[in-house]
Structure 1
Amino acid sequence: MNVPESTVPPTAGTPAGTGPTTNPWRRHLVSVRETRKGTLFALMAWVFAVYDFILFGTLLPALQADFTWSAATATGVATLISIGTAFVVLGVGPLVDRLGRRRGMLITVAGTAVASGLTALTFNPAYLVAVRSLGGLGLAEQSVNTTYLNEIYAVSEDAAIKKRRGFVYSIVQGGWPLGTLLAAAFAALLLPVVGWRGCFLLATFPAIVILLLRRTLKETPQFQIASRLRTLVKEGRTEEARSLAAEYELEAPEHTPLRQIFAPAARRNTIALSLAWIFNWFGIQVFSVLGTSVLVQAKGVDFASALGMFIIINVVAFTGYLFHGWAGDRFGRRNVIVVGWFVSTVAFTLMLTLQTGTVMTVVLYSMGMFFLVGPYAALLFLMGECYDTDCRATGATFLGAMSQPGAIVAGITVTALLAAGTSWSAAALWVGAGGILVSTVAMLFCRRVAVLESIDPELVPVGATAVATH
């Protein structure tokens, strides 16, 4: 989307009425109302994207029973869906960097609605794999959210949010445990009444409401200017592009977004964060997705008690998002992620290796989840800060897509270990806790990011980020 000429001048130069030292981003400040509206809609969209994503896993046994699939068929379907989801997520980033953040958010929330509605019409495994892969649009919601909010907060008039942007974003990212709890509650209440098909059909309505609400959001100024630069370059107006880029202290794009995230300036962070996502999802797969199995099989808890314990654990996990969002603003996002994941490794290791009663099991498991999922509030926002405007969505969604290879490899590895006679405790220790530890080491290789922005937009540019050399 090109920037209107009244918003971004087609040629550079200091606009009338401003001095040579005036920050040009002052002309594009986002109001307090728009900032808070965008934040609220992002939270709502992420909650229901997670709701749809988790609802499928929750209701898979009901589908398996209805279609009389074998356990192998159900497992195979889930694995193929993870693969399809990864490919869909990978495609979202370049699309958002080309079409815009606002359109991208409309596409992701529409994908959530379509995936839920079409799942209700399932008639065979191949169809289910195809329609549930569309759920990757919903899973990409978190990456599109961080791209949009990172840019909006940078030029917002809302000083309170700008000062605590990491903490505010942690509330949005906390939609994961909220969506998980919502899916479990709705499945328990509605499955006996409307069946699994009705559960998926009803899930489409909140997504449609959010889609209509999101149509009122505005595009980010950073994307508008980056889009204008691309248009000038494409039309051969290189001098105008050079002048406009210089005015906003940006660089005219020379490569596709996917090539840019592997360019020398961004390559190290892309590789380090990709490895962190892959291996950390070993822990997510074991302790979050298969959490009740760990409690039942590794700790000897009965299934009913495990469900109750898991609800408590997820409530504690939500507070982890808030804590790490706040701490990331104060102590640096990379540092907080590294410390959090290391503490999580220790907590899960103690829980699996010591003879613990019910209380200590809940305490150590909750502590592990607090420091496992909580750092994602800082991680998602850090990802947005690692890349320039014209490849930010591609970078964020590429990294987010690395969760699926991690989930697939972890699932296969745990299955192989159990089949070989390894105990659940040992399998969870080596795959889950071990994966979290490797992801902690990977984060140490991520360069800390120095954000070129200030609460006072008069002082420094706010349109880009710079990667520190230490």
Structure 2
Amino acid sequence: MAQVEMNRSVQTRPWFRQITPAQWQALLASSLGWMLDAMDVMLYSMVLVYLMSDLHMDKSMGGFLATLTLLSSALGGLIFGILADKFGRTRSLMISIIVYSVFTALCGFSQTVTQLAILRTFLGLGMGGEWVAGAALITESWPAEHRGKAMGIVQGSWAIGYALAAVVSGLLIPLFGWRGVFFFGIVPALVTFLIRKGTKEPEIWEARKNTRSDTEKEGSVIKIFDRKVVRWTILGSALSICAQFGYWGLFTWIPSYLATSVSQGGAGLSIVKQTGWIVIMQVGAWLGYVAFGLLADKIGRKATFILFFGLAAILVPFYGFTHDATRLLLLGPLVAFFGSGYFSGFGAVLAELFPTSIRATGQGFCYNFGRALAATAPFIVGTLAKSMGLGAAFSITAISFGIAAILVILFLPETKGRELT
């Protein structure tokens, strides 16, 4: 009876007071890692106009290098997912941060397109690994009723990192050029000391590690194609393809779109205005990430996905065919809100579809297999832009968002409140 009263007392407190210090620490570690991952990855988009000029690249090659990074990130997600299931979420998270930090900084030494391509490939391994390790850490550490909120906060840190990349570029490009921007990318490596010092492995993973037999295979890729879970592997991968094609096809090129002259189909903004427009846009993205998490815990994962994918598909064409700076400023936060916020649902939903023994592997495979196929988006948009302009080329991403909404309607089960096993 006393235990029942205690549980009732806990549930009546505000949700943020129900979270333990260890759970907050896990959230901090994952959020910082993801925020700085975003900053390092998006630095490329911020300096792409200058890279194309200095290294003599056209838009197709600029898009191809972004595609190359996404392809390697897919491999990184699979590798680090297996490592996270075998050796722990926290260890995998730290190593992934070090990898993407070091190789971002090394990009600043590139003298040729080939050198830059090789370094961006290694950077991608860490980029893909960070998401899967951080997602597994959060979804296993936080209670089911607040899992969506936690992933919303973590995903929201991507918007902060994107905006930080714009600010860093705006400050450093006039002083040190694009090389100085990349050198700043080493900063995230310092975060690993914070993670190592205070972040514990989730109890459910520790319990699984201590009780499994020597013959059990943790993190086996084969097991995510078992007949019991293969439908979730296929669905998760398909949703990831559509969601990430839309995101990377759009947001890789938006900084270049804003900086490109009006005569070439862009908005023709100065570096100062470009920075401001992107920061404001990412405020909208942050609100979208957080709102998705809150809504997913309130009305369910399925309805929230449909809302965000559907409105993203509608808003993107309006943004792409707008060249007026004021209208872009007003539309930008809305496009980012719905065109980014849905990522908050992936970590929670995939965690709720896969068991603990293969959770990080399943999350890593679906999210990053999707990223591998969606990696063609920057290249496709860049290629189309040569004939129709960047704004018009963005319309292809709207189709991808629309397909994602249809997949959710037809195939995704509601997993709100599901306890992990």
Question: Deviation at 1:172?
Answer: 1.6
Q: Is residue 2:364 matched to residue 1:397?
A: yes
The percent of aligned pairs where both chains have the same amino acid is 23
Aligned to 2:277: 309
Of residues 59, 69, 76, the one that matches 1:88 is 76
Q: Distance in 2 between matches of 1:71 and 1:129?
A: 15
Task: Tell me if structure 1 keeps the 8 A contact 2:67–2:376.
Answer: no
Deviates more, 1:320-329 or 1:163-172: 163-172
Q: Distance in 1 between matches of 2:299 and 2:305?
A: 10
CA-to-aligned-CA distance 1:101-131 (integer Å, 9 cap, x gap): 1211111111122222332333443333232
Aligned to 2:338: 371
Amino acid at match of 1:302: G
Task: Assess, with a 3 A threshold, how the Cα gap between structure 1 residues 417 and 208 changes in structure 2: closer, same or farther.
Answer: closer
Task: Tell me if structure 1 keeps the 8 A contact 2:156–2:289.
Answer: yes
Q: Is residue 2:413 matched to residue 1:447?
A: yes
Aligned to 2:122: 134
Task: Tell me if structure 2 keeps the 8 A contact 1:273–1:442.
Answer: no
Q: What does 1:47-62 correspond to in 2, within 5 Å?
A: 47-62=35-50
> What secondary structure does 1:174 align onto?
helix
Q: Distance in 1 between matches of 2:118 and 2:50?
A: 19
Q: Distance in 1 between matches of 2:97 and 2:195?
A: 9
Q: Distance in 2 between matches of 1:171 and 1:276?
A: 21
Amino acid at match of 1:446: L
Of residues 315, 318, 321, the one that matches 2:289 is 321
> What secondary structure does 1:448 align onto?
coil
Question: Deviation at 1:227?
Answer: 2.2
Aligned to 1:287: 250
Task: Assess, with a 3 A threshold, how the Cα gap between structure 1 residues 345 and 76 changes in structure 2: closer, same or farther.
Answer: closer
Q: Distance in 2 between matches of 1:345 and 1:31?
A: 36
Q: Distance in 1 between matches of 2:328 and 2:113?
A: 38
Q: Is residue 2:252 matched to residue 1:270?
A: no
Task: Tell me if structure 2 keeps the 8 A contact 1:292–1:303.
Answer: no
Task: Assess, with a 3 A threshold, how the Cα gap between structure 1 residues 79 and 268 changes in structure 2: closer, same or farther.
Answer: same
Q: Distance in 2 between matches of 1:80 and 1:351?
A: 26
Task: Tell me if structure 1 keeps the 8 A contact 2:132–2:360.
Answer: yes
Q: Distance in 2 between matches of 1:406 and 1:303?
A: 32
Task: Tell me if structure 2 keeps the 8 A contact 1:313–1:365.
Answer: yes
Q: Is residue 2:147 matched to residue 1:147?
A: no
Question: Deviation at 1:416?
Answer: 4.8
Task: Assess, with a 3 A threshold, how the Cα gap between structure 1 residues 337 and 194 changes in structure 2: closer, same or farther.
Answer: same
Deviates more, 1:301-310 or 1:282-291: 301-310
Question: Deviation at 1:152?
Answer: 1.0
Task: Tell me if structure 2 keeps the 8 A contact 1:101–1:144.
Answer: yes
CA-to-aligned-CA distance 1:231-277 (integer Å, 9 cap, x gap): x243xxxxxxxxxxxxxxxxxx4686312222222222221221112
**TM-score w.r.t. length of structure 2:** 0.83
Aligned to 1:38: 26
Q: What does 1:33-432 correspond to in 2, within 5 Å?
A: 33-68=21-56, 73-136=61-124, 137-154=126-143, 163-205=145-187, 207-216=188-197, 217-230=199-212, 232-234=213-215, 253=216, 257-292=220-255, 301-304=267-270, 308-351=276-319, 361-418=328-385, 421-422=387-388, 426-429=392-395, 431-432=396-397
Amino acid at match of 1:336: T
Question: Deviation at 1:210?
Answer: 1.0
Task: Assess, with a 3 A threshold, how the Cα gap between structure 1 residues 215 and 281 changes in structure 2: closer, same or farther.
Answer: same
Question: Deviation at 1:452?
Answer: 4.6
> What secondary structure does 1:375 align onto?
helix
Amino acid at match of 2:296: G
Question: Deviation at 1:351?
Answer: 4.8
**TM-score w.r.t. length of structure 1:** 0.75
Q: Distance in 2 between matches of 1:85 and 1:120?
A: 20
Task: Tell me if structure 1 keeps the 8 A contact 2:63–2:380.
Answer: no
Q: Distance in 1 between matches of 2:329 and 2:108?
A: 36
Task: Tell me if structure 2 keeps the 8 A contact 1:93–1:397.
Answer: yes
Amino acid at match of 2:401: I
Question: Deviation at 1:71?
Answer: 5.6
Task: Assess, with a 3 A threshold, how the Cα gap between structure 1 residues 342 and 67 changes in structure 2: closer, same or farther.
Answer: closer
Task: Assess, with a 3 A threshold, how the Cα gap between structure 1 residues 443 and 257 changes in structure 2: closer, same or farther.
Answer: farther
> What secondary structure does 2:225 align onto?
coil
Q: Distance in 2 between matches of 1:145 and 1:405?
A: 19
Task: Tell me if structure 2 keeps the 8 A contact 1:140–1:400.
Answer: no
Q: Distance in 1 between matches of 2:96 and 2:103?
A: 11
Question: Deviation at 1:336?
Answer: 0.7
Task: Tell me if structure 2 keeps the 8 A contact 1:273–1:443.
Answer: no
CA-to-aligned-CA distance 1:302-330 (integer Å, 9 cap, x gap): 33356543332221121111111100111
Task: Tell me if structure 2 keeps the 8 A contact 1:93–1:394.
Answer: yes
Question: Deviation at 1:47?
Answer: 1.0
Query: If each structure's helix is expressed as a fraction of its own residues, which one has the higher value?
Result: 2
> What secondary structure does 1:275 align onto?
helix
Q: Distance in 1 between matches of 2:205 and 2:88?
A: 7
Deviates more, 1:103-112 or 1:401-410: 401-410
CA-to-aligned-CA distance 1:405-447 (integer Å, 9 cap, x gap): 344332343345445x546555322x11111001111223122
Aligned to 2:3: none
Task: Tell me if structure 1 keeps the 8 A contact 2:245–2:371.
Answer: no
